[in-house]
Structure 1
Amino acid sequence: MKNLVLTLALALTTLIGFSQDEGVTITVTIDNVTSDEGKVLMSLHTSETFMKGNGVMDAETEIKDGKVTIKFENVLPGEYAILAMHDANDNKRMDFQENGMPKESFGISNNVMAMGPPQYDDAKFKVEGEDLEFNIRF
């Protein structure tokens, strides 16, 4: 009976251990949001989803003292890019001026600010086995 209980306990522990999600945590901080109005929206993208809608993971958070931190957890190895925007009016989309320029602040991983829309190749990074931290500037 004792062996049966120990065997069942070992089997259950093993199953629980293998059922946990694998992957890394990506922590993103933005510390130059111009106001605490609205929210910051952030998306983790692959080359297939970049600038085409929702990412493979999406998050939003309220702003406190011009700063936000968002974590993407259990990110599997691969190549990704992060898009972030300050949705000041909380309408869940980027607003543009008549000339096509954005009305709301935005940023990408690697902090490349080029003329024109963000490019995946400028923002991409690799996820391997270690947690990552980024500071994105608006």
Structure 2
Amino acid sequence: MKNLFLTFALVLTTLFSFAQDKSSTITVTIDNVTSDKGTVKLSLHTADTFMKGKGLMTAESEIKDGKITVTFENVESGDYAIIAFHDANSNDKMDFRDNGMPLESYGVSNNSMSFGPPNYDDAKFTVADKDLELNIRF
């Protein structure tokens, strides 16, 4: 009985040691920022958080020659969307005109740009078992 228990414990230990981490890395590049002033802020969202508040993960990058690259690590499998904006005046928020139009450049994953606010279904992408590289255009 003792040998059976030890064998079972060894099998379980071996199975758990071969279990793979199901998280991925998302690398985002934006290469058309209009100036190197300020920073670019990005946030990773699910359908529940998109355009409703803080994302699941956030990142910020300085701009070099109109380009930034940011990495989101340990992203679990699922559907997500990314929102990015150029905080040109470094006030930690997106600025708008009186009529509600943005004063600062922005973009979303899949580069879906329509009139009005971004739509999650147009911007969403799926994270599975491999790393992703995305390019967002402003």
1:5 alignment counterpart: none
Aligned residues: 122
Q: Structure 1 residue runs of 4+, over 2 Å off?
A: none
1:118 alignment counterpart: 118
Q: CA deviation at 1:136?
A: 0.2
TM score, norm. by length of structure 2: 0.84
Output the CA distance in 1 between the equivalents of 2:123 and 2:43: 12
1:64 alignment counterpart: 64
* One-letter amino acid of the counterpart of residue 35, structure 2: S
TM score, norm. by length of structure 1: 0.84
1:132 alignment counterpart: 132
Long gaps (5+) in structure 2? 1-13
Long gaps (5+) in structure 1? 1-13
Q: CA deviation at 1:88?
A: 0.4
Output the CA distance in 2 between the equivalents of 1:71 and 1:86: 17
Output the CA distance in 1 between the equivalents of 2:42 and 2:92: 11
Output the CA distance in 2 between the equivalents of 1:68 and 1:53: 23
Q: CA deviation at 1:22?
A: 4.6
Secondary structure of 2:110's match?
A: helix
* One-letter amino acid of the counterpart of residue 84, structure 2: A
1:90 alignment counterpart: 90
Secondary structure of 2:35's match?
A: coil
1:34 alignment counterpart: 34
Output the CA distance in 2 between the equivalents of 1:90 and 1:53: 19
* Backbone CA RMSD of aligned residues: 1.6
Output the CA distance in 2 between the equivalents of 1:91 and 1:119: 25
